[in-house]
């Protein structure tokens, strides 16, 4: 089945609801009627992966994580390669989200309390839930400079750039037509 073909229903799923081989994370920031689907944590999250070596790449898009991940899909770029190698729920189009795609996930699925935005309403993604993002940094697929790439923090909501050789978490996503 082609998940980029329109679904029979025009309703938008609840944030965190099972959808498209994972969970509905929100609407894509620039593509109308496209959902961002978050991979199940057990299969689609890894820790202690580097982004890659220093050097300029073509992974500069703020909104197209799939294109960024395709540009980085080799053994020198473990974070993107992990995501692109996944086959979950019969789908093999998982990728490392771009910065603005990760912003959607932060806005809708932030696990902690006491910060803005407040804790997500999606039960499985709330602090301690089986699908919750850890209160840690996650790589995005968006390069910042020759030596750094963008990160998303799921403790405070901050986004910063850091050295590409730093090891941290990744969580795969895919796009799916609503």
**Tens-digit pLDDT profile for residues 50-78:** 999 999 999 999 999 999 999 999 999 99
User: What would the mean pLDDT of 2-17 be, rounded to a whole number?
Assistant: 68
d(CA 143, CA 65): 11
This prediction has a pTM of 0.92
Could you give phi then psi for residue 43, rounded to 5 degrees? -105, -30
| Least confidently predicted of 34-38, 71-75, 111-115, 164-168 | 111-115
Instruction: Judge whether residue 7 has pLDDT over 50.
Output: no
d(CA 63, CA 141): 10
Q: Is the dihedral of CA 46, 152, 81, 147 positive or negative?
A: negative
Instruction: Judge whether residue 10 has pLDDT over 80.
Output: no
HEC secondary structure over 37-79: EECCHHHHEEEEEECCCCCCCCCCCCCCHHHHHHHCCCCCCHH
Instruction: Judge whether residue 20 has pLDDT over 60.
Output: yes
Nearest alpha carbon to residue 136 among 165, 107, 167? 167
Give the model's pLDDT for residue 138: 98
d(CA 19, CA 13): 8
Instruction: Please state whether beta strands 137-145 and 148-153 pair in parallel, antiparallel, or not at all (unpaired).
Output: antiparallel
Rounded CA Rg of the chain? 15
CB 47 within 8 A of CB 56: no
CB atoms within 10 A of CB 123: 11
Confidence class for position 11, pLDDT limits 50, 70, 90: confident
């Amino acid at each position: 089945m082609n998940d980029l073909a329109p679904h029979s229903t025009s309703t938008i799923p609840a944030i965190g609801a099972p959808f498209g081989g994972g969970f509905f994370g929100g609407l894509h920031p620039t593509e109308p009627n496209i959902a961002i689907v978050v991979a199940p944590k057990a299969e689609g999250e890894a820790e202690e992966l580097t982004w890659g070596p220093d050097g300029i790449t073509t992974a500069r898009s703020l909104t197209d994580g799939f294109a960024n991940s395709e540009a980085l899909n080799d053994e020198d770029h473990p974070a993107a390669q992990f995501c692109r190698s996944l086959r979950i729920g019969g789908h093999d189009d998982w990728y490392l989200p771009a910065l603005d795609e990760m912003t959607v996930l932060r806005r809708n699925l932030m696990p902690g309390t006491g910060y803005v935005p407040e804790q997500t309403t999606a039960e499985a993604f709330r602090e301690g839930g089986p699908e919750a993002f850890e209160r840690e940094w996650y790589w995005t697929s968006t390069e910042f400079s020759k030596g750094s790439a963008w990160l998303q923090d799921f403790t405070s909501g901050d986004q910063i750039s850091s050295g590409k050789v730093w090891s941290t978490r990744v969580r795969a996503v895919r796009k799916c037509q609503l």
